[in-house]
């Protein structure tokens, strides 16, 4: 789980972004409300709010990617999954970037196979670390998780999925994901790279399940 913190400059940047963008401001409200509910041990509601927060951040990402690149496409018929996939792409880009920085990859000097191999391995390692979250987004698992925090569904309950089964560790994980998403938004390069990862998660434009 991501344990980093923001520098004062990054914190100021994030505060400015949130204040200037109604979608991010609403996402921050949802996360803040989730913290209040977490303190009161209302864990199923925490997960529901955390997923809504992530989807708002995902909506913001889709908007800026489309604005920057008019050819960027996503399936508007499956918006929940698209927004969740945007978050998965953001996390994947973040992990890949941190991996190649850790390996000391110098993009100005990739002229030999050995150095290129280090970059390729860094990308592979980063992608593998985030495959579970990305797969959950694509398969609709995150959507089920969100619903399990909002509704009692007899079909899901028969499979052992219901609000009462959501525990503190589940709520904590999703709240940490919200914090991580906000932190990564301050990394412009990770946000840009995430747009390239998004099509890898949703290769089929006809993926309509939401």
The alpha helices in 1-78, defined as continuous H runs, are 8-20, 22-39, 43-68
At residue 140, the 3 state secondary structure works out as coil
Name the least confident of 25-34, 157-166, 174-183: 157-166
| Residue 157 included in any domain | yes
195 within a domain of the structure (yes/no): yes
Q: What percent of the chain has pLDDT over 70?
A: 95
Burial zone of 57 (CB within 10 Å; 0-12 exposed, 13-18 middle, 19+ buried):
buried
Query: Is residue 207 in a domain?
Result: no
209 part of a folded domain:
no
Give the integer Cα–Cα distance in Å for 17 and 15: 5
**What is the chain's mean pLDDT, rounded?**
89
- The pLDDT tens digits of the residues spanning 33-83 come to 999 999 999 999 999 999 999 999 999 999 999 999 999 999 999 999 999
Q: Cβ neighbours of residue 134 under 8 Å, at least 6 residues apart? A: 85, 88, 89, 91, 92, 201
Could you list the beta-strand ranges (E) of 40-192.
none
Domain that holds residue 181: 8-201
Given a cut of 90, whether residue 104 has pLDDT beyond it is: no
- For range 179-206, the mean pLDDT: 87
Whether residue 144 lies inside any domain: the answer is yes
Whether residue 206 has pLDDT greater than 70: no
Burial zone of 10 (CB within 10 Å; 0-12 exposed, 13-18 middle, 19+ buried): middle
**Residue 171 and residue 38: Cα distance in Å, rounded?**
7
Q: Does the residue 1 lie in any domain?
A: no
| Cβ 55 vs Cβ 149: under 8 Å | no
**Structural domain count of the chain:** 1
Structure confidence by residue, pLDDT tens digits, 108-154: 777 778 888 888 988 898 889 999 999 999 888 898 888 888 888 88
Maximal C-alpha separation, the chain? 59
- For the whole prediction, is pTM greater than 0.85? yes
Identify whether 190 is part of a domain: yes
The mean per-residue pLDDT over the stretch 9-31 comes to 97
Chain-centroid distance, C-alpha 31: 14
In a domain, 2, yes or no: no
Whether residue 165 has pLDDT greater than 80: yes
Query: Per-residue pLDDT for 204 more than 90?
Result: no
Closest CA to 142 of 158, 161, 128, 157: 161
Which helix (DSSP H) or strand (DSSP E) does residue 6 occupy? none
pLDDT band at 187 (very low <50, low <70, confident <90, very high): very high
* CA proximity to 49, closest of 83, 26, 17: 26
């Amino acid at each position: 789980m991501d344990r980093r913190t923001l520098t004062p400059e990054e914190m100021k940047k994030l505060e400015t972004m949130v204040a200037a963008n109604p979608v991010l401001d609403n996402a921050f409200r949802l996360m803040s409300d989730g913290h209040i509910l977490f303190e009161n041990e209302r864990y199923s509601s925490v997960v529901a709010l955390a997923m809504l927060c992530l989807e708002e951040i995902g909506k913001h990402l889709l908007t800026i990617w489309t604005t920057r690149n008019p050819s960027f496409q996503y399936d508007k018929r499956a918006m929940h999954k698209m927004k969740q996939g945007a978050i998965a792409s953001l996390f994947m880009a973040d992990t890949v970037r941190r991996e190649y920085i850790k390996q000391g990859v110098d993009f100005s000097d990739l002229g030999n196979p050995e150095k290129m191999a280090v970059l390729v391995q860094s990308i592979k390692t980063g992608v593998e670390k985030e495959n579970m979250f990305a797969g959950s987004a694509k398969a609709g698992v995150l959507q089920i998780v969100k619903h399990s925090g909002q509704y009692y569904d007899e079909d899901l309950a028969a499979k052992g999925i219901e609000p009462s089964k959501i525990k503190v560790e589940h709520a904590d994980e999703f709240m940490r994901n919200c914090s991580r998403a906000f932190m990564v938004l301050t990394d412009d390069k990770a946000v840009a790279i995430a747009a390239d990862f998004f099509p890898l998660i949703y290769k089929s434009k006809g993926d309509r399940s939401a």
